[in-house]
Amino acid sequence: MKKSLIALSSLLMLGGTAHAQKVAFEEYDLANGMHVILHNDPSAPVVITSVMYHVGAKDENPERTGFAHFFEHLLFEGTQNIKRGEWFKIVTGNGGTNNANTSDDRTYYFEVFPSNNLELGLWMESERLMHPVINQIGVDTQNEVVKEEKRLRVDNSPYGNLIGQVKKNMFVKHPYRWATIGSMEHLDAATLEEFQAFNKKFYAPNNAVLVIAGQMDVAKTKEWVQKYFGPIPRGQEIKREKFVEDPITTQLNATYEDPNIQKPMIVASYRTPSMKTRDARVLDMISTILSDGKSSRLYKKIVDDKKMALQIGAFSFNQEDYGMYILYGMPQGENTAADVLREIDEEIVKLQTELISENDLQKLKNKYDNTYVNSNSSVEGVAENLASFYLLYGDVNLINTEIEMYRSITREEIRDIAKKYLNPNQRLILDYVPAKDKAENKQ
């Protein structure tokens, strides 16, 4: 949790606001298996049309990693009825914006239009699903786009390989072990037929949820949904293999040399349960206690008071099957990575042995109330939350009830979950250091 508190006045109103922010929605299934969720919000003349597909990096062949992210780009290339290069022109020419993103677990596409262009948004997303054009020129074009993105965000970005290296060392059996952006060698080696087969398998109505949120005529919207999505054939049922990792019982140690950095970073990562579990929510709160803002325990002690590190942090990397709880620190001065890790461990031991105060618990819950209100303050946020809670959590109404889970977490749970998951024998220690030959390369 990294969002700071907004105005004091908002905090004072949180109790009533959070209750008033309940999200109303309607959901149903089309005959082809596509799930549909409608959220009518007449407060502003905008509407978002979004589709989330249950396909991410974890669904890839280990010899063809990067496909899900590649399709995030490829499915903007055009359709039988939208010429190549026209997608973005149509959107912007009608006052809209659009985007897409991919994780290890899902891929999400959306358009935001003035509400009088809702039918256009529905038609475009149905075209992406029913009539995508997947040909060699599109594959070759997007291959270069993805390579440039990898160079920019990963290969040439300071600490750009951090998450990828943590995943590589934390997972042995599960497909979470590779980075979402995947391998460029795998993409280069893939045939056009392999891309077409991936599309046929995963981009089907019965592997997706359509969410429409904003100002709409609900009856007319349902007519359009049936008109544009109803005729799309159901895809084959997807059989997903279940990957179970052996528990980490002895500390793992790894080193990665990054040619783009000058300062080393120490990383401690713990494997955690699915984001659907209550334990994962408690770990979110533990992360907030330790590193959310300059008043957090790690920042105040290690950065402010002792001045041992330039930067310190912790966050929950939540995912559908397993998560990771990642702590990191950047030593400064004469302090070593071991010194910083020792200070981090001391704060974890405090959480494992001492209850936080009632006052600190209330502050913590206030932050989560505020985050809950903010996450549902726009139709874009509501749409993505509705899609995620349906597709990944299996309960759309969590958009309204998940906050109650956070509010019910106790001081004892925080202590016990820290004891359960955050022990030295259950973690990876990654020394993320400057490349040894960096100085020579610069000469």
Single-letter amino acid, residue 316: S
pTM: 0.92
pLDDT averaged over every residue in the chain:
93
State the average pLDDT over residues 41-45.
94
Asked whether 52 and 107 are in contact (CB, 8 A), the reply is: yes
Residue 297: pLDDT over 60: yes
CA distances from 313 to 141, 300, 328, 335, 429 (A): 38, 11, 5, 17, 15
Q: Please report which confidence band the pLDDT of residue 293 belongs to, taking 50, 70 and 90 as the band edges.
A: confident
Quick one: pLDDT at residue 251? 98
Q: 235-289, pLDDT tens digit by residue?
A: 999 999 999 999 999 999 999 999 999 999 999 999 999 999 999 999 999 999 9
Q: How many angstroms separate the CA atoms of 196 and 63, rounded?
A: 16
Q: 105-162, pLDDT tens digit by residue?
A: 999 999 999 999 999 999 999 999 999 999 999 999 999 999 999 999 999 999 999 9
Quick one: pLDDT at residue 15? 34
What 8-state DSSP symbol labels residue 88? H
Q: Which helix (H) or strand (E) is 315 found in, with range?
A: strand 309-317
Residue 295: pLDDT over 90: no
Quick one: pLDDT at residue 438? 54
E strands, 153-207, in order: none
State the average pLDDT over residues 23-36.
98
Percent of the chain having pLDDT more than 90? 91
Single-letter amino acid, residue 33: G
Q: 392-408, pLDDT tens digit by residue?
A: 999 999 999 999 999 99
CB-based burial label for 191 (10 Å; 0-12, 13-18, 19+): exposed
The torsion angles phi and psi of 46, rounded to 5 degrees, stand at: -130, 160
